[in-house]
């Protein structure tokens, strides 16, 4: 018998109170933080959908594994267990632990890139792009045509445009240290990359003698979509699909705060001995010894357990259905969303929804602030505020899309929480014509959206 109700494939063992605030308190908090939701205190947020990175819940087995933590500085048993699980999953020759994904990105970029290089990708996310550009290199996004049509469903809208990739490789071969494939494609709406596209990318990289790396933060969700949507993979276990994906690449960077069920942690996976040695040298300089990489032994054990749990099909089905459930509610209220729904977040199309607010006045930020004012929900702008290029003498160069991301922490919120979010979305729909834009009054050079100050126009 088929059931329509989405049930969480777990039961709750420990709880944390949700802060309930008044509209007046929320307005005061947002004004205090200059209309930037990154400045809000957690006790001022009722439902926190800012990110799925490090915000999820650990299992009882993960909590139990913390007690096994071996805090030896070098060669701990926790490291040995972690390395064993990661190597079994990925097949990489060298595993280099880090405290989180952007540390992995920074180390790999500092080792492999120099000024004037080009890194082609299906899409770079914000920290990935910033770490590439910090070296003086160009982060080049080559998203497929299907992925650029936000509202039209297609099974693998995270794919790289293979024609544009080959054109780039042929023209810039000497200038490209590696090709980066992001799975799933966070910037493009949490959309998956097909195995066929990954294999074709691998073939092009082989043809031009260029390594292929993964940004593998959501590898399990991507593998689940391959299982659900790609012919020939319907009966293959999620973990086996993930293994195949990893083994197509020469290495990866990863934040285990996503598909590692961790609150902290990441790693670099590398097959090349020379690159691994240079990464380890940089790790020692900035993170710690190569058998802990800035992490406590107990965290390595919890991450090892999380990597065993993340490919559970029941969990991945529940996660994807939860996002689809929320997408259906937004669509019901006339709010355009990226279709089909991604694996970790709902993406609202702010450009289509608020055509009266131009990109340089940040329509996504208008929605972000209104969602908080209406219901204490914190979400994130993924548009010109985050990805636009600041111009001293005129409006920002706009991002390709104006999105708002409602990212779901893993194993944290229930269906009733999403029903509440749906009610707030309904309220947003009723106030559509009253929303206005914002302007930046203070910003930093890199990743300005984390610390910028704004005010309403």
Can you give the three-state secondary structure of the chain, one letter per residue? CCCCCCCCCCCCCCCCCCCCCCHHHHHHHHHHCCCCHHHCCHHHCCEECCCCCCCCCCCHHHHHHHCCCCCCCCCCHHHHHHHHHHHHHHCCCEEEEECCHHHHHHHHHHHHCCCCCEEEECCCCHHHHHHHHHCCCEEEECECHHHHCCCCCCCCCCCECHHHHHHHHHHHHHHCCCEEEECCECCCCCECCCHHHHHHHHHHHHHHCCCEEEECCCHHHHHHHHHHHCCCCCCCCHHHHHHHHHHCCCEEEEECCCCCCCCCCEEEEECCHHHHHHHHHHHHHHCCCCCCCCCCHHHHHHHHHHHHHCCCHHHHHHHHHHHHHHHHHHHHCCCCECCCCCCCEEEEEHHHHCCCCCHHHCHHHHHHHHHHHHHCEECEEECHHHHCECCCCCCCECCCCCEEEEECCCCCCCHHHHHHHHHHHHHHHHCHHHCCCEEEEECCCCCHHHCCEEEEC
pLDDT value for 396: 86
315-331 pLDDT tens trace: 999 999 999 999 999 99
Kindly state whether residues 317 and 305 are assigned to the same domain: no
346-390 pLDDT tens trace: 999 999 999 999 999 999 999 999 999 999 999 999 999 998 888
- For residue 123, count CB atoms less than 10 angstroms from its CB and return exposed for 0-12, middle for 13-18, buried for 19 or more: buried
Average pLDDT over residues 24-30: 98
Is the pLDDT confidence value at 392 over 90? no
Q: Considering the domain boundaries, does residue 237 fall inside one?
A: yes
pLDDT value for 387: 86
Kindly state whether residues 114 and 253 are assigned to the same domain: yes
Kindly state whether residues 192 and 287 are assigned to the same domain: yes
Q: Does the predicted model carry a pTM greater than 0.85? A: yes
Band the pLDDT of 406: cuts 50, 70, 90. Answer: very high
Residue 64 falls in which region: left (phi positive, over 0), alpha (psi -120 to 50) or beta: alpha
Which CATH number goes with the domain that contains 425? Answer: 3.90.1150.10
pLDDT value for 259: 97
Band the pLDDT of 283: cuts 50, 70, 90. Answer: very high
Domain boundary among 246, 278, 309: 309
Q: Are 451 and 444 in contact (CB under 8 A)?
A: yes
122-175 pLDDT tens trace: 999 888 999 999 999 999 999 999 999 999 999 999 999 999 999 999 999 999
407-449 pLDDT tens trace: 999 999 999 999 999 999 999 999 999 999 999 999 988 889 9
Q: Considering the domain boundaries, does residue 92 fall inside one?
A: yes
pLDDT value for 107: 98
pLDDT value for 75: 96
How far apart are the C-alpha atoms of 127 and 274, rounded to whole Å? 25
Kindly state whether residues 352 and 441 are assigned to the same domain: yes
Kindly state whether residues 135 and 235 are assigned to the same domain: yes
Q: Which domain holds residue 424?
A: 23-52+312-456
Q: Considering the domain boundaries, does residue 396 fall inside one?
A: yes
Band the pLDDT of 78: cuts 50, 70, 90. Answer: very high
Domain boundary among 276, 309, 342: 309
Q: Considering the domain boundaries, does residue 17 fall inside one?
A: no
186-218 pLDDT tens trace: 888 899 999 999 999 999 999 999 999 999 999
How far apart are the C-alpha atoms of 453 and 103, rounded to whole Å? 26
Kindly state whether residues 219 and 352 are assigned to the same domain: no
Average pLDDT over residues 41-52: 98
Q: Are 298 and 78 in contact (CB under 8 A)?
A: yes
- Per the prediction, the chain carries an average pLDDT of 96
Contacts of 337 (CB under 8 A, 6+ apart): 151, 327, 330, 331, 346, 347, 348, 349
Is the pLDDT confidence value at 5 over 90? no
Q: Considering the domain boundaries, does residue 94 fall inside one?
A: yes
Kindly state whether residues 296 and 318 are assigned to the same domain: no
Kindly state whether residues 252 and 324 are assigned to the same domain: no
Alpha-carbon dihedral 294, 299, 304, 307, rounded to 10 degrees: -90
How far apart are the two ends of the chain, measured CA to CA in Å?
54
pLDDT value for 260: 97
How far apart are the C-alpha atoms of 45 and 375, rounded to whole Å? 9
CA atoms within 13 A on the CB side of 389: 6
Number of domains, the chain: 2
Band the pLDDT of 339: cuts 50, 70, 90. Answer: very high
Q: Considering the domain boundaries, does residue 168 fall inside one?
A: yes
pLDDT value for 59: 97
- Tokens matching residue 71: 């805090």
pLDDT value for 186: 83
Band the pLDDT of 228: cuts 50, 70, 90. Answer: very high
Q: Considering the domain boundaries, does residue 9 fall inside one?
A: no
Kindly state whether residues 262 and 377 are assigned to the same domain: no
CA atoms within 13 A on the CB side of 150: 21
Is the pLDDT confidence value at 294 over 90? yes
242-271 pLDDT tens trace: 999 999 999 999 999 999 999 999 999 999
In the sheet where 94-98 sits, what is the strand order?
A: 94-98, 266-270, 251-255, 212-215, 179-182, 118-121, 138-141
CA atoms within 13 A on the CB side of 116: 4
pLDDT value for 444: 87
Buried b / exposed e over 231-257, threshold 16 CB at 10 Å, is eebeeeebbebbbbbbebbbbbbbbbb
Which CATH number goes with the domain that contains 123? Answer: 3.40.640.10
Kindly state whether residues 239 and 286 are assigned to the same domain: yes
Q: Considering the domain boundaries, does residue 394 fall inside one?
A: yes
Kindly state whether residues 175 and 298 are assigned to the same domain: yes
Kindly state whether residues 144 and 278 are assigned to the same domain: yes
Buried b / exposed e over 325-342, threshold 16 CB at 10 Å, is bbbebbeeeebbbbbbbb
Domain boundary among 274, 309, 344: 309
């Amino acid at each position: 018998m088929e059931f329509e109700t989405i049930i969480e494939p777990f039961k709750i063992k420990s709880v944390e109170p949700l802060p309930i605030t008044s509209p007046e308190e929320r307005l005061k908090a947002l004004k205090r933080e200059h209309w930037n939701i990154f400045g809000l205190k957690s006790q001022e947020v009722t439902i926190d959908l800012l990110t799925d990175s490090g915000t999820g819940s650990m299992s009882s087995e993960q909590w139990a594994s913390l007690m096994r933590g071996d805090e030896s500085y070098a060669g701990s048993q926790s490291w040995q267990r972690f390395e064993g699980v990661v190597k079994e999953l990925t097949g990489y020759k060298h595993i280099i632990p880090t405290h989180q994904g952007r540390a992995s990105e920074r180390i790999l970029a500092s080792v492999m890139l120099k000024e004037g290089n080009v890194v082609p990708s299906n899409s770079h996310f914000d920290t990935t792009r910033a770490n590439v550009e910090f070296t003086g290199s160009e982060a080049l996004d080559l998203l497929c045509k299907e992925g650029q049509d936000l509202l039209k469903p297609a099974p693998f809208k995270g794919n790289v445009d293979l024609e544009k990739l080959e054109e780039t490789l042929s023209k810039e071969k000497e200038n490209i240290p590696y090709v980066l494939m992001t799975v799933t494609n966070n910037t493009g709406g949490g959309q998956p990359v097909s195995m066929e596209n990954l294999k074709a990318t691998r073939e092009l990289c082989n043809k031009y003698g260029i390594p292929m790396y993964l940004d593998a933060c959501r590898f399990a969700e991507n593998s689940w979509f391959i299982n659900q949507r790609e012919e020939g993979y319907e009966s293959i276990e999620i973990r086996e699909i993930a293994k195949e994906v990893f083994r197509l690449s020469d290495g990866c960077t990863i934040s285990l705060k996503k598909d590692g069920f961790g609150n902290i942690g990441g790693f670099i996976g590398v097959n090349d001995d020379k690159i691994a040695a240079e990464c380890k040298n940089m790790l020692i300089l900035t993170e710690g010894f190569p058998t802990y990489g800035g992490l406590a032994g107990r965290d390595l054990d919890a991450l090892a357990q999380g990597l065993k749990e993340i490919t559970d099909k029941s969990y991945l089905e529940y996660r994807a259905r939860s996002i689809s459930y929320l997408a259906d509610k937004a669509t019901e209220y006339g709010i355009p969303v990226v279709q089909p729904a991604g694996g970790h977040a709902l993406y609202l199309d702010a450009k289509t929804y608020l055509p009266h607010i131009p990109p340089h006045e940040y329509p996504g930020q208008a929605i972000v602030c209104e969602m908080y004012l209406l219901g204490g929900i914190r979400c994130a702008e993924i548009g010109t505020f985050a990805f636009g290029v600041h111009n001293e003498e005129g409006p920002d160069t706009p991002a390709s899309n104006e999105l708002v991301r409602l990212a779901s922490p893993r194993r944290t919120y229930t269906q009733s929480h999403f029903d509440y979010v749906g009610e707030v979305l309904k309220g947003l729909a009723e106030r559509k014509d009253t929303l206005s834009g914002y302007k930046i009054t203070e910003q930093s050079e890199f990743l300005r959206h984390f610390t910028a100050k704004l005010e309403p126009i």
